[in-house]
Structure 1
């Protein structure tokens, strides 16, 4: 089998060590690229479409889980989604998060013995897929099995806050009540309940209300722990919506969901990771 892998690790020595171990344990495996940060991991994975992605949890730009979430959103259904192996320095917390998931994980410093079990598991999975013509044809045509497994895993992590925990985000005790946004020489005081939705744009967040839009210099990773989760739902890696403002969730023929709001003409797409929030009760 012609199996291709990509390693995403921001510490060069650790990346080369992992590469060396893999070359010893799996000589036939092709390491096609090394990514040094989260955005590069997304770019190279979408460009090369490897069969396996060794993904560091904590990287500059985007965490490994944020990379996985973005890939789940951007991946085209007609191509096979890569199997993901998370590489992390976290111990007990990461083990609890990933132990029973479809994806695998290895702890830093990566031991050859533990990595050997991961290699064996991957080889068995890939061999089982290739041995069945029916399964192989299905995987090539839809690309859904590994992708569905990853989405399920991310969904399991999200409700309990584990996704934020692994991204080293700290939950605040008191929800944010007022957004302070600079408008020229003035500071606009925006009650949080007036916000229709937040939309991340590079280094800023666009705060959208019924009457105006304002930019604040922050990230969703920093803002999310400050919001009341009963009122604000994340629906996309770049969008958080005031659920009281949602009037309708529309599903198209491809299964993609778009939200319509009561006090806005905006149409907000819901990513695959958060689609389960809008299933019929």
Structure 2
């Protein structure tokens, strides 16, 4: 029997026996957690997450179709709403080097194959705490050591060394009736609507047709933080964080009066502010 308001999870691993073993171990150390869906590959994991809106997703790092890291990047881009935020991520891996990086970054967790009860219990305690912080039942314990997007870029390069990203250096954008080449380092923020993405520099406002979800993969995540599904901001351009009367975080941008809204999925970036 499920517990009302119990946390919900999706489990993704291409090996059926590994899914069964992990499900069994989870039942031992976190009996109230509901496994609401299971996926055999990364594409299924993304679709189940979109459909079921779980609090937590377990992702095998190496899966066909999409790797767990690639699936996590897509999941991180899913739109949140008043009732749901992007879920916590736990990587399932046989590779210690990936696991240690994920653990030390503090923005997600990991389970080593085969899942051992003692290590899984550590993961469960960390995830419980993070979920409590997200729901307001516990105080944040300070800023994380890195962002989820930064970690996923790093892990992606390790899983597929040949596909290590080369970040954009220039943006070709429309300014009035002309096309300009804008150095990425000059951009203060990108913000999208349904058709265009606005490129804002200290002196120029331009438009491109490239959506935010593509820019996230093409820009250096150490420089451009995603703060909303429609907004990327240059970290160096941030000059302050405030809250409005509804309690929403707003990012101030150097040299502009405009404020950029931070959605719930990204408030962890500014815990210490």
Instruction: State the TM-score, normalized to the length of structure 1.
Output: 0.59
Shift of 1:18: 3.0
The CA distance in 2 between the partners of 1:228 and 1:258, in whole Å, is: 20
Shift of 1:7: 3.0
What's 1:74 paired with? 80
What's 2:231 paired with? 239
1:99-136 CA deviation, whole Å, 9 max, x = no partner? 685854123xx32xx3433454567x59xx9xxxxx9x
RMSD (Å) for aligned C-alpha atoms = 5.1
Q: Which has more radius of gyration?
A: 1
1:166-223 CA deviation, whole Å, 9 max, x = no partner? 1337365xx855322479x985322335533123679985434533322237823432
Are the counterparts in 2 of residues 5 and 30 from structure 1 also a CA contact under 8 Å? Answer: yes
Are the counterparts in 2 of residues 54 and 84 from structure 1 also a CA contact under 8 Å? Answer: yes
1:117 and 2:113 correspond: no
1:166 and 2:192 correspond: no
Are the counterparts in 2 of residues 198 and 206 from structure 1 also a CA contact under 8 Å? Answer: yes
What's 2:91 paired with? 86
1:28-57 CA deviation, whole Å, 9 max, x = no partner? 6753212453542542452xx45x532344
What's 1:275 paired with? 270
The CA distance in 1 between the partners of 2:138 and 2:156, in whole Å, is: 23
Out of 50, 62, 77, the residue aligned to residue 43 of structure 1 is 50
| Structure 1 gaps, min length 5 | 130-134
Shift of 1:159: 9.9
1:256 and 2:262 correspond: no
The alignment partner of 2:59 has SS state of: strand
The CA distance in 1 between the partners of 2:69 and 2:196, in whole Å, is: 15
Are the counterparts in 1 of residues 70 and 156 from structure 2 also a CA contact under 8 Å? Answer: yes
The CA distance in 2 between the partners of 1:122 and 1:98, in whole Å, is: 9
Instruction: State the TM-score, normalized to the length of structure 2.
Output: 0.61
Are the counterparts in 1 of residues 197 and 209 from structure 2 also a CA contact under 8 Å? Answer: yes
Out of 23, 36, 47, the residue aligned to residue 32 of structure 1 is 36
Within-5 A mapping of 1:1-281: 2=2, 5-9=8-12, 13-14=14-15, 16-25=16-25, 26=27, 30-35=34-39, 36-37=42-43, 39-46=46-53, 49=54, 53-57=57-61, 59=66, 63=70, 65-66=72-73, 69=76, 74=80, 84-88=89-93, 90-98=95-103, 101=106, 104-107=109-112, 110-111=113-114, 114-121=115-122, 125=125, 143-144=135-136, 148=140, 152=143, 155-158=144-147, 161-168=150-157, 170=164, 177-181=169-173, 187-199=179-191, 206-209=198-201, 210-216=204-210, 219-225=214-220, 229=223, 232-236=224-228, 238-242=230-234, 249-253=241-245, 255-261=247-253, 266-270=258-262, 271-276=266-271, 279=273
Are the counterparts in 2 of residues 203 and 219 from structure 1 also a CA contact under 8 Å? Answer: no
Are the counterparts in 1 of residues 171 and 182 from structure 2 also a CA contact under 8 Å? Answer: yes
What is the number of equivalent residue pairs in this alignment? 247
The CA distance in 1 between the partners of 2:75 and 2:226, in whole Å, is: 16
The alignment partner of 2:233 has SS state of: strand
